[in-house]
Amino acid sequence: QPTLGVLALQGAFREHRHRLQTLGAPVKEVRLPADLRGLSGLIIPGGESTTMARLMTDYVLWQPVRDFYARGGALWGTCAGAILLARDVQGAPPQFGVQDSLNLMDIRVRRNAFGRQVDSFTTPLAVAGLQQPFPAVFIRAPVIERVGEGVEILAEHDGQVVLARQGRLLASSFHPELTLDPRLHELFLGLVNETVLESVR
Ligand code: GLN
């Protein structure tokens, strides 16, 4: 069974870890490049993407995570994590300068597009492949404004893309770890099993 990692620098990483453990998946917290060894998939949690990006720099994680993907690992970014996966990030507060990202997924995201913290909300979301709507928790969420050719749209809210997949990359605007519904974590485990080669495991 493949081992999953959760980037544990900042944000809602414990919730992701608990959810994966509940599903019986072996899981490790990732703080250092060496923690990536032996993983098949990595979740980048929600939180605050500027802070997380700074910690990625401090812990020298940018290139090791890109290399992990290049070796065949799968990545799922939720909310701030989706921002870190994107090739194009818009809407960063100007005082922070250009936003660093992993530059992996062919999407353009706009930060804080669903409004201020007080505008956080939960909504039943129709997700491709799921029979029943998923209770999606949005907290100052980014929207996916543009998707490249190889990107499959899995869910939209109010006509805006909030869940998308590109091969071994998954990005969600919302926080599936903050509900008790395990179906998106199951979806990611399925994606890992389907796409990640035995040799990377
Ligand atoms: N607003 C945060 C950011 O832009 C993301 C919010 C979240 O992860 N819940 O980084």
Q: What is the 3-state secondary structure (H, E, C) of 111-138?
A: CCCCCCHHHCEEEEECCCCCCCCEEEEE
Residue keyed to tokens 């062919």: 106
The pLDDT of 184-198, averaged and rounded, is: 91
Catalytic member of 16, 79, 157, 185: 79
pLDDT confidence of residue 98: 73
Mean pLDDT computed over every residue of the chain: 93
Six-digit token pair at 76? 């799922």
- Report the pocket of ligand 1 as residue ranges, CB < 6 Å: 46-49, 79-80, 83, 111-112, 139-140, 142
Rounded CA separation 187/74 (Å):
12
Domain 4-200 has CATH 3.40.1390.30: no
In angstroms, what is the span from residue 141 Cα to ligand 1's centroid?
6
- In the annotation, is 177 catalytic? yes
Other Cβ atoms within 10 Å of 142 Cβ, number: 32
pLDDT at 141 over 90: yes
Give percent of the chain above pLDDT 70. Answer: 96
- In the annotation, is 16 catalytic? no
Rounded CA separation 45/82 (Å):
8
Six-digit token pair at 147? 């998707």
pLDDT (tens digit per residue) in 14-63: 999 999 999 999 999 999 999 999 999 999 999 999 999 999 999 999 99
Among residues 18, 23, 101, 108, which one has the least CA distance to residue 63? 101
Output the known binding site for L-glutamine. 47-49, 111, 139-140
List C-alpha distances in Å: 11 to 29, 51, 72, 107, 149. Answer: 13, 9, 25, 22, 31
pTM beyond cutoff 0.90? yes
Rounded CA separation 185/191 (Å):
10
- Please tell me whether residue 195 adopts helix, strand or coil conformation: helix
- In the annotation, is 18 catalytic? no
In angstroms, what is the span from residue 118 Cα to ligand 1's centroid?
13
Instruction: Give the mutation target among 44, 48, 89 for probing the ligand 1 site: most ligand atoms within 8 A of CB.
Output: 48
pLDDT confidence of residue 1: 84
**Residue extents of the structural domains in the chain:** 4-200
Under the banding of pLDDT at 50, 70 and 90, the label for residue 117 is low
